[in-house]
Amino acid sequence: MAKNKPVAIAIHGGAGTILKANMTPELEKAYHAELEEALKAGHKVLKKGGSSVEAVQAAIVIMEDSPLFNAGKGAVFTHQKTNELDASIMEGKTLNAGAISNVSHIKNPIKLAALVMTESRHVMLSGEGAEQFAQSQSVEMVKPEYFYTDRRWQQLQKVLKEDPDASKLSEDKDDKYASTSHQQPSQVSTASDKVWPDDKKFGTVGAVALDQDGNLAAGTSTGGLTNKKFGRVGDSPIIGAGTYADNESCAISATGHGEYFIRAAVAHDVCARVKYKGIKLQAASDEVILDKLVKMEGQGGVVGMTPQGEAVFSFNSKGMYRGYVDAEGKIYTAIYEE
Ligand code: ASP
């Protein structure tokens, strides 16, 4: 039964060098539409009296299923031409959290992260172990080829050309794209910069929400960084770096160059500044993103939410795919700096 207390949700679809000058109207429209769909899905859950954890999942699943974002279906390629996905989720009431890293067969990593939180005794599971746990929970598994998209493949080829390690490391004994029905790099039409204007962006997705019981939640899901090596894990599945939620301060989901976000403990630091300095969430987010991170030369941003349901955005890059639903249920989406 709906309780009719205020609810709120805000999302991001990655930050980075996103310039209007390079964007086609069609692609811009597609991004706005996908952000809107994700917001609607999360907001619907909240209006029905669902929890903020459920709403965060619902919004993120839409973006994971879209090839536009670097999460789920649209995940970037590693150096070894695989896709290794990370995700995390946290509940502000209990400080319960769940995270997974380095999975390659999970259609919706955010769902698995939520199951780690509710159905396991652990906070973070990785690689094969995480996938075994997924099987025990009847989570939807997919073949690695599910994550192949032309755009991400081209991104990898571009980056490999400039990677001095390429010849040393890229020998892939089990190159699944060498003999499958997928197009080979030479046959694939090269996506022009006009079509994909944001190759230097961090396309992770995330959501923060407040439910009718006054509980906050945050979640983040990513494919990581193109050409990542050696089982690299970024900030997105790290509680306190890419994701944090505490009813006493705020909920945060981050996107950006994970190595910096881990070192700066971004998500927790924002909430800690709210809690201990008694400053507003916008000010706390700006201190971390526009000052601390800029000094460290780390690029990216956050979406945050107060316990009253105010959505906050802060990013030090040219743009961040983002949006929120206001108290009247009106949806706002944006891409560039304003
Ligand atoms: N933060 C992610 C990572 O470093 C990347 C992103 O935000 O797109 O793995």
Q: Give the mean model confidence (pLDDT) for residues 282-288.
A: 98
Residue 197 lies in a domain: no
Structure tokens at 120: 């396991």
204 is catalytic: yes
Together in a domain, 48 and 110: yes
In terms of DSSP H, where are the helices of 213-337? 258-263, 266-277, 281-286, 293-296
Structure tokens at 65: 């299923």
Atom of ligand 1 nearest to the CA of 224: 9
Query: Tell me, what's the pLDDT at 176?
Result: 52
**CA dihedral sign of residues 114, 78, 75, 14:** positive
Together in a domain, 229 and 83: yes
Residue 249 lies in a domain: no
CA distances to 84, 214, 219, 254, 337 from 282, in Å: 32, 20, 19, 14, 16
Atom of ligand 1 nearest to the CA of 228: 9
- Find the residues whose C-beta lies inside 6 A of ligand 1: 14, 70, 202-204, 222, 224-225, 234-236, 255-258
In the reported structure, the alpha carbon of residue 328 is separated from the centroid of ligand 1 by a whole-number distance in angstroms of: 32
What's the farthest any 2 CA atoms get from each other in the chain? 60
Pairing of strands 300-305, 250-256: antiparallel
In the reported structure, the alpha carbon of residue 67 is separated from the centroid of ligand 1 by a whole-number distance in angstroms of: 16
Residue 299 lies in a domain: yes
Together in a domain, 230 and 307: no
Together in a domain, 182 and 321: no
Total domain count, the chain: 2
Together in a domain, 47 and 136: yes
pLDDT tops 70 at residue 264: yes
- Written in H, E and C, the secondary structure of 154-220 is HHHHHHHHCCCCHHHHCCCCCCCCCCCCCCCHHHCCCCCCCCCCCCCEECCEEEEEECCCCCEEEEE
> Domain limits at 54?
13-18+33-165+178-191+217-234
Pair 38, 62: CB distance under 8 Å:
yes
In the reported structure, the alpha carbon of residue 13 is separated from the centroid of ligand 1 by a whole-number distance in angstroms of: 11
Together in a domain, 88 and 186: yes
3-state percent helix, strand, coil for the chain, nearest multiple of 5: 35, 25, 40
Query: Tell me, what's the pLDDT at 338?
Result: 75
Residue 202 lies in a domain: no
The string of pLDDT tens digits covering residues 160-172 is: 998 877 766 544 4
Together in a domain, 40 and 183: yes
Together in a domain, 98 and 185: yes
Together in a domain, 225 and 304: no
Atom of ligand 1 nearest to the CA of 257: 4
CATH number where 329 lies: 3.60.20.30
**What 3-state class would DSSP assign to 124?**
strand
Pairing of strands 331-336, 216-222: unpaired
In the reported structure, the alpha carbon of residue 48 is separated from the centroid of ligand 1 by a whole-number distance in angstroms of: 32
| Selection from 191, 190, 195 nearest residue 31 by Cα | 195
Query: Tell me, what's the pLDDT at 61?
Result: 98
In the reported structure, the alpha carbon of residue 6 is separated from the centroid of ligand 1 by a whole-number distance in angstroms of: 31
Residue identifier of the C-alpha nearest atom 7 of ligand 1: 255
pLDDT tops 80 at residue 192: no
| Selection from 336, 334, 332, 295 nearest residue 317 by Cα | 336
Together in a domain, 226 and 313: no
Catalytic residue among 24, 78, 149, 204: 204
Together in a domain, 266 and 226: no
**What 3-state class would DSSP assign to 75?**
coil
Strand order in the sheet with 311-315: 243-246, 250-256, 300-305, 311-315
Q: Which residue has the tokens 């300095």?
A: 277
Residue 5 lies in a domain: no
The string of pLDDT tens digits covering residues 28-87 is: 999 999 999 999 999 999 999 999 999 999 999 999 999 999 999 999 999 999 999 999
Residue 71 lies in a domain: yes
Together in a domain, 308 and 182: no
Atom of ligand 1 nearest to the CA of 242: 1
Atom of ligand 1 nearest to the CA of 86: 9
Structure tokens at 275: 């809690």
Query: Tell me, what's the pLDDT at 165?
Result: 77
Residue 253 lies in a domain: no
In the reported structure, the alpha carbon of residue 54 is separated from the centroid of ligand 1 by a whole-number distance in angstroms of: 23
Query: Tell me, what's the pLDDT at 178?
Result: 42
d(CA 293, CA 295): 5
Residue 172 lies in a domain: no
b/e map of 248-285 (b: 16 or more CB within 10 Å)?
A: ebbbbbbbbbbebbbebbbbbbbbbbbeeeeeebbebb
Residue identifier of the C-alpha nearest atom 6 of ligand 1: 202
Query: Tell me, what's the pLDDT at 19?
Result: 81
pLDDT tops 80 at residue 187: no
